Amino acid sequence: MQLYNNLSAKERAELIEKAGKDRLTISFYAYAKIGNPELFRNHMFLAWNDLDVLGRIYVAHEGINAQLSVPADNFQKFKDHLDTISFLENVRLNIAIEHDNFAFLKLKVKVRDKIVADGLNDNTFDVTNKGVHVDASKFNQLIEDPNTVLVDMRNHYESEIGYFKNAITPDVDTFRESLPIIEEDLKEHKEDKNLVMYCTGGIRCEKASAYYKHKGFKNVFQLEGGIINYVRQVEEKGLENKFIGKNFVFDERRSERISDDIVAHCHQCGQPADLHTNCANEACHLLFIQCDECKTQMENCCSTACMEINRLPYEEQKALRKGQGNSNDIFKKGRADHLPYKKDLRNIFEVLRK
């Protein structure tokens, strides 16, 4: 019984290319009480591996969070399988606007303490007492209301390349950091403002909305299905698109273009750019924004030092890495000191105080 991958990413990519069939990039989540996450994890792996599903899935006692790549030919079988599971029947599937057959190259189903690392003690509040879900039309109305505070629940490297008009974009590295910061800075507006939140697919807002209601916020709203679902609704219903730039995604594509605006800059030369790249040096892998010119000049590396290491024969690189962990820079997501045009730290609530 195969419960783990037996092909490398390279071997899987070759098979996908040889098959020549389209794949769909899909994400979904569901909060539910799962008694035995390990058993549930094994069940999902067996079923999805047979359907040639690839992706990154987290399972916990509180539910499931999935980003997947599914062969278009197998989509209905995949959907039928989800519908056999009570809490996943008719679950909303966020289907990507832009597809890449190589978005995922392995099937990874992992058991975690939580499906999103939020740092919260869920026993202290009712996680089912969530904010009001709004569709794209209602969302557009709300964010034009002067009585609304619109908050981006994503991290700085996500909002750096794209965001909604008039949104407050917390300058944080993790979701858990943003929760107390937002609460503190909006404490005077718990009753007199609409707190409207959005994220990539909705999962972070699902927990955050319950948290803020517990903290005394009276009018809490969240964008149903996040940015991914918003864009699809805008296109289907002919609504005004109020998202500017690109939507960061957590697969090999790294982003989907939503508007033609380029709102970020290359971290190396400062020219307009919004393409994230991972440093080619295996010992670094820093995620940062790099324009095409710098990508060519720096050979996909974040620094001259990394470029020199990356030019060494593989065995020499491997020897240099022996016993060495990745630098803490990898967690800075584009804020490493050696990047001259990295995003500056700033007061995230300057919008409120103008």
Which CATH number belongs to the domain containing residue 45 in this structure? 3.30.70.100
pLDDT of residue 327: 56
With respect to residue 29, please indicate whether it lies within any of the assigned structural domains: yes
Tokens describing residue 198? 């959005």
Identify whether residues 102 and 140 lie together within a single domain.
no
Identify whether residues 131 and 212 lie together within a single domain.
yes
With respect to residue 321, please indicate whether it lies within any of the assigned structural domains: no
Give the domain-ending residue among 237, 266, 285.
237
Picking from 248, 66, 115, the residue whose alpha carbon sits closest to that of residue 169 is 248
pLDDT of residue 331: 58
Averaged pLDDT, 179-203: 92
With respect to residue 80, please indicate whether it lies within any of the assigned structural domains: yes
pLDDT of residue 328: 54
Picking from 258, 180, 254, the residue whose alpha carbon sits closest to that of residue 212 is 180
Least confident of 74-83, 221-230, 345-354: 345-354
Identify whether residues 84 and 187 lie together within a single domain.
no
Say if residue 348's pLDDT is above 60: no
Give the domain-ending residue among 237, 258, 276.
237
Average pLDDT of every residue of the chain: 89
pLDDT of residue 97: 78
Identify whether residues 140 and 224 lie together within a single domain.
yes
Identify whether residues 54 and 130 lie together within a single domain.
no
pLDDT of residue 131: 93
Give the total number of structural domains in the chain: 2
Give the domain-ending residue among 87, 111, 135.
111
User: What type of residue sits at position 235?
Assistant: E
Say if residue 30's pLDDT is above 50: yes
Rounded to the nearest angstrom, the gap between the alpha carbon of residue 98 and the centroid of all alpha carbons in its chain is: 15
Identify whether residues 101 and 131 lie together within a single domain.
no
Identify whether residues 225 and 130 lie together within a single domain.
yes
Let me know: does 69 contact 25? Beta carbons within 8 Å: yes
Identify whether residues 102 and 192 lie together within a single domain.
no
pLDDT of residue 329: 59
| Structural domain range at position 221 | 122-237
5: number of Cβ within 10 Å: 16
Identify whether residues 140 and 100 lie together within a single domain.
no
Identify whether residues 210 and 132 lie together within a single domain.
yes
pLDDT of residue 99: 79
Determine the Cα–Cα distance for residues 262 and 241; give it in Å rounded to an integer: 15
First CA to last CA across the chain, in angstroms? Answer: 61
With respect to residue 352, please indicate whether it lies within any of the assigned structural domains: no
Least confident of 32-36, 99-103, 203-207: 99-103
Averaged pLDDT, 325-334: 62
Identify whether residues 59 and 134 lie together within a single domain.
no
With respect to residue 297, please indicate whether it lies within any of the assigned structural domains: no
Residue 114, classed as helix, strand or coil, is coil
Say if residue 353's pLDDT is above 60: no
Least confident of 42-56, 121-135, 297-311: 121-135
With respect to residue 339, please indicate whether it lies within any of the assigned structural domains: no
Averaged pLDDT, 311-323: 85
Determine the Cα–Cα distance for residues 27 and 44; give it in Å rounded to an integer: 15
- The CATH number given to whatever domain includes residue 169 is 3.40.250.10
With respect to residue 148, please indicate whether it lies within any of the assigned structural domains: yes
Averaged pLDDT, 331-340: 80
Tokens describing residue 143? 């964010």
**CA 339 vs CA 83, 175, 328, 335: distances in Å:** 48, 24, 14, 7
Confirm whether 199 is a catalytic residue.
Answer: yes
Q: Tell me: the pLDDT tens digits for 90-147?
A: 999 988 877 789 989 999 999 999 998 888 888 888 888 899 999 999 999 999 999 9
With respect to residue 47, please indicate whether it lies within any of the assigned structural domains: yes
Catalytic residue among 199, 205, 284, 302: 199
pLDDT band at 220 (very low <50, low <70, confident <90, very high): very high
pLDDT of residue 117: 84
Identify whether residues 145 and 107 lie together within a single domain.
no
Residue 269, classed as helix, strand or coil, is coil
pLDDT band at 351 (very low <50, low <70, confident <90, very high): very low
Say if residue 178's pLDDT is above 80: yes
